[in-house]
Amino acid sequence: MIRRSLRVLLIALGVLAAGAPTASAQFYRNERPDAFLRDNAKMKALVKAVLSDAAKSIVKILNDKKDLCLGTVVGRDGWIITKYSELRGENLKVRFRDGREFSPKVVGVEDRYDLALLKIDAKDLIAVDWRDSKSALLGHFVVTPGIDQEPIAIGVVGVLTRSMKSSDYPVANRSRTSGWLGVSLADAKGGGAVINQIAKNSGGESAGLKLDDVVIGVAGRKVSDSSMMIQLLLRYRIGEEVTMTVKRGEEEVEVTATLGKRPAEFQQMGMDRGLFQNGIHKDLSDVNVGFPTALQHDSVLKARDCGGPLVDLDGKVLGINIASSGRVDSYTVPSEVIQGLLPELMSGKLAPMNPVKKSAAPKKTDDVKSTSTGPSVNK
């Protein structure tokens, strides 16, 4: 009844129907100027009821100093999925809404999607109820629940679930907190990422990378394609060193590069007013691009809001919010992708070499960092 009431309210507001608002919607607008706002009190109250089930499966991931992100229970016996790149610092904890805390172990990592599977010593947890993300159509409302059942954000599906390419991620939305290698990448036949362009005075050039080099490893992690290499490099900051395993002809060599700051001409490339406004959002995820498959919505999320579920108006989970990529650009790893990855993540075959990256003081710089993954010089 509550969910039906929510749909009736949305129809009355004229937000589920295509075209001009209905007469009743116009009347409602005249009576209540805030009626069309997603965060009006009546909307929030109805949405809160829809979230009652999903909220039971949400946890908070934190360290000794701060809240890092959200996590989502995907197995009754202690399995929790979250956003890998946010797992920084000492003494990680998983906190439930009732105050219980557990020390997690990172048992599996999927670098292409920036996902980590955690295991805690707990039983009889409430796992999420999945629904295929393709059931969410263009313009459908989606909700991001929080650990306390209050909605973090209400949004609308902007782009249907699809396979993503580098060019699908606007320049302004790419991470401003990562270092810049200064190369352009393509998928290599047989695996790895082939370098097809190198920027002058970049970290890649200084390290001795060459055209047609095939990067097959980054910091000990095998690189399957260019998307995975992008995800791995996005975790490094300006001034940090990264060691890559490179196949050069028949020879394999190790190359260590120091990542630099993206030059202004690359920061501004292709940026129109709308992208600029989207890119000035101050709390983007460090790793916010390069996901092979994603559902895109316009919920306003912060980096710490990622790792939790995205639900529809029936309270079913469409996927895991994986990135705040702009003021009104958020990406979700679809439920069907998550479910396909879980068996291998649980198997231990994807155990990380370095489960948690220790927090480090950022190096001083007069500008923010930015990493592009576009078709031009992109890392």
153 lies in the same domain as 215? no
271 lies in the same domain as 302? yes
pLDDT tens profile 90-112: 899 999 999 999 999 999 999 88
198 lies in the same domain as 248? yes
The mean pLDDT value for 235-240 works out to 86
22 lies in the same domain as 154? no
CATH number of the domain at 329, please.
Answer: 2.40.10.10
* Domain end residue (candidates: 230, 261, 292): 261
251 lies in the same domain as 288? no
pLDDT confidence band for 329 (50 / 70 / 90)? confident
Domain contains 158: yes
Which domain does 29 fall in, by range? 2-36
pLDDT value of position 39: 61
Q: Is the pLDDT of residue 2 over 60?
A: no
Strand 101-102 relative to strand 241-248, pairing: unpaired
Distance CA 117, CA 341 (A): 10
Tokens of 134: 């393709």
146 lies in the same domain as 295? yes
Distance CA 129, CA 257 (A): 44
251 lies in the same domain as 306? no
Q: How many CB atoms lie within 10 A of CB 258?
A: 16
Inter-residue contact 318 to 331 (CB < 8 Å): no
pLDDT value of position 19: 42
Domain contains 373: no
How does the average pLDDT of the chain come out, rounded?
80
Cα 56 vs. chain centroid, distance in angstroms? 22
pLDDT confidence band for 126 (50 / 70 / 90)? very high
Total of domains in the chain: 3
Q: Collapsing DSSP states into helix, strand and coil, what is residue 97?
A: coil
Domain contains 128: no
- pTM of the complete model: 0.72
27 lies in the same domain as 139? no
Distance CA 359, CA 295 (A): 30
Nearest by Cα to 141 from 334, 11, 294: 11
CATH number of the domain at 199, please.
Answer: 2.30.42.10
Q: Is the pLDDT of residue 360 over 50?
A: no
The mean pLDDT value for 179-186 works out to 88
Q: How many CB atoms lie within 10 A of CB 200?
A: 8
Domain contains 117: no
* Domain end residue (candidates: 261, 283, 318): 261
pLDDT value of position 25: 41
